[in-house]
Structure 1
Amino acid sequence: MSFEDIPILHYLGIAVDILLVWFVVYKLIMVVRGTKAVQLLKGIIVIVLVRMISQYLGLNTLQWLMDQAITWGFLAIIIIFQPELRRALEQLGRGRLFSRSGTTGEEEQTKTVEAIIKATDYMAKRRIGALMTIEKETGMSDYIETGIQLSSNISSELLINIFIPNTPLHDGAVIIQNNSVAAAACYLPLSESPFISKELGTRHRAAVGISEVTDSMTIIVSEETGSVSVARNSELHRNLSQDALREILEAELNATSKTKTNSSNLWQWRGKKNG
């Protein structure tokens, strides 16, 4: 059958079919992109690549191992991705599977920075302990679910009020997601690193702990000294001034929405590391 013999409706049907599959795959990638599943997907890609290379080079034993990993991979994916699959099905039931918000504007980022700076300055002067985590590329839905979900517009007044002592939400972390307060009173994993100074308490250890498992950035206000610290990439930078904190926040938030060029250079010289 020649190309001219293909009915135009059949040809259009094939095109629509391809476009729909592309659209579904693209939206699924957008759903997975902000979760810990991204790291596991990278591992799957590595296994497939090693399988192809071992077949090409005739590495029979390695090829057999990769075949076993791929054969049982489907079951492993169901077990490993269980939280993500459950959340995706819940979103599908609410009709929100494909409604992922895009990158926020510069105005909202500026508002977020100003709210955090103002709240941090207020609490530091009064020695009000605080723990604020900013989500970046790695999703923090699992940790948001441990707290009280707010989904509120961010403001310095809200952040200050959350951490006022003896209030229902003051104990735990605030998680900031897409320039809004996603949840408060959240539980974060504690770091077991022996290099953290013994004079630091649970807040600092939790801040370092979440930075070990995600790419988030956490701001800590010490209840004992009123000093401001920031945890990122398993490192704790202490005794930051308001200007230094502002510079770090602007660099990191801009890096989340644009690129991360030269942000590590700023990080190296700001603050005192690990006591």
Structure 2
Amino acid sequence: MRDWWKQWLTTDFGWTQSLLFYAIDLGLVLALIYMVLVIIGERRTLWMVRGFILLMLASAISARLGLPLLSFVLEKLVVGSAVAMAVTFQSEFRRFLEQLGRGEFRQLLQPGRRIVPKPDSVIDEIVDAVRELSQNRIGALLILETDSPIDERDLKVPGVKLNAEVSKEILLTIFHPKTALHDGACLIRGSRVVAAAVILPLYERPAPRQLGTRHRAALGITEKVENCVCVVVSEETGSISLAERGILNKPLTSSKLKELLEARFSPAVEREAVAPSIRGLVNQIGNRVRILMTRFFALFGLNLPASPRNKK
């Protein structure tokens, strides 16, 4: 078998062999791009990936055409863009490398679509607790997971495990100044309070001086981990803030907070998948090929034979 494979590789099949190798090369590149899109998983980042791919294609074409200066500039832009994307999507690329190292290829080819919905009752309990904490000027920090669970390695201290049902009373109890769990964040997963007294990494970039430790912690965790949002209640002013992806939205009223949380965690809202399923992708490609073939045969006054599924 091995001798046959070596003989096949050394045999000159001309353009057929070249076409086969080009097809394999292109297929592997497309598979790699598909995995990256699955890991990133959001439509708004797709344009950055497309721009990066266009830069690589332009660099390859300029090198093929013999334009050394343009090729040099584009090559440096590709390297710089790759470094920038690695920094911007560090959590996604880390998850990609971890899954690749574990051999979890099936997960790499399965795009996630839904965010984790929260029942209206859970959002109401959170908003009611935040409203009362704000009125009494009691500081609070809540982490709400949006899809996959947060890796404990992204937290400085995982805190005390609770696994209790979300309610206004338990949140008020946790953040009461006289309790042992009030100092830190409260981690909420679905409709459960997973842990309290969670210590988060602080925001390392320059920030306004009026931002306290809770706000810097909310900015730090949401910048580092994208699958969460943070609700912050200021101890000094009682103002309400919402942090997501390293951006702080403040000040908010309790009604505005409820509106934002309902929009973020509504069961009807789906994260638009950047990469479709493999079956859907194959069907799309097949339909496009069939349309092109139909137009090609129409130029010569011929009809494309009907597929077996279309035959009655």
Q: Could you say if the C-alpha distance between residues 229 and 84 of structure 1 is closer, same or farther in structure 2, counting changes exceeding 3 Å?
A: same
Is residue 115–residue 154 contact of structure 1 (8 Å, CA) maintained in 2? no
Deviation at 1:131, TM superposition (A): 0.7
* Structure 2 counterpart of 1:118: 128
Deviation at 1:237, TM superposition (A): 0.7
Which deviations, in whole Å up to 9, do the C-alpha atoms of 1:185-238 show, x marking residues without a partner? 1313225434x253x421123233445555543211122333322234523412
Q: Could you say if the C-alpha distance between residues 105 and 124 of structure 1 is closer, same or farther in structure 2, counting changes exceeding 3 Å?
A: same
The answer to whether the aligner puts 1:103 opposite 2:110 as a matched pair is no
Q: Could you say if the C-alpha distance between residues 114 and 154 of structure 1 is closer, same or farther in structure 2, counting changes exceeding 3 Å?
A: farther
From 226, 230, 243, give the equivalent of 1:231.
Answer: 243
Q: Map 1:258-273 to 2 at 5 A.
A: 258=270
Q: Could you say if the C-alpha distance between residues 104 and 193 of structure 1 is closer, same or farther in structure 2, counting changes exceeding 3 Å?
A: closer
* Structure 1 counterpart of 2:199: 186
From 255, 273, 294, give the equivalent of 1:243.
Answer: 255
Which deviations, in whole Å up to 9, do the C-alpha atoms of 1:113-158 show, x marking residues without a partner? 1121122133234332111133447984343474237483651244
Structure 2 residue runs without a partner (length 5+) = 1-27, 273-312
The answer to whether the aligner puts 1:164 opposite 2:171 as a matched pair is no
Q: Map 1:1-275 to 2 at 5 A.
A: 32-33=39-40, 46-57=51-62, 58=65, 59-60=67-68, 63=71, 81=93, 85-86=97-98, 103=114, 108-136=118-146, 140-141=150-151, 142-144=153-155, 146-148=157-159, 150=161, 152=163, 154-156=165-167, 157-165=169-177, 167-178=179-190, 180-184=192-196, 185-190=198-203, 192-194=205-207, 196-198=208-210, 200-213=211-224, 216-232=228-244, 234-238=247-251, 240-254=252-266, 257-258=269-270
Aligned equivalents of 1:31, 1:164: Cα separation in 2: 42
Higher RCO (CA-CA < 8 Å; seq separation 6+): 2
Q: Which amino acid aligns with 1:224?
A: E
Report the TM-score, using the length of structure 1 for normalisation: 0.56
Aligned length: 223
RMSD: 4.9
Aligned equivalents of 1:62, 1:153: Cα separation in 2: 60
Q: Which amino acid aligns with 2:202?
A: P
Aligned equivalents of 1:129, 1:109: Cα separation in 2: 25
Aligned equivalents of 2:135, 2:121: Cα separation in 1: 21
Is residue 143–residue 186 contact of structure 1 (8 Å, CA) maintained in 2? no
Aligned equivalents of 1:175, 1:119: Cα separation in 2: 15
Deviation at 1:54, TM superposition (A): 2.0
Percent of aligned pairs sharing the same letter: 27
Structure 1 residue runs without a partner (length 5+) = 1-20, 261-275
* Structure 2 counterpart of 1:6: none
Partner of 2:138, secondary structure, is coil
Q: Could you say if the C-alpha distance between residues 99 and 172 of structure 1 is closer, same or farther in structure 2, counting changes exceeding 3 Å?
A: farther
Report the TM-score, using the length of structure 2 for normalisation: 0.50
Deviation at 1:243, TM superposition (A): 1.7
Partner of 2:59, secondary structure, is helix
Q: Could you say if the C-alpha distance between residues 224 and 103 of structure 1 is closer, same or farther in structure 2, counting changes exceeding 3 Å?
A: same
Aligned equivalents of 1:193, 1:180: Cα separation in 2: 34
Q: Which amino acid aligns with 2:136?
A: R
Aligned equivalents of 2:199, 2:191: Cα separation in 1: 17
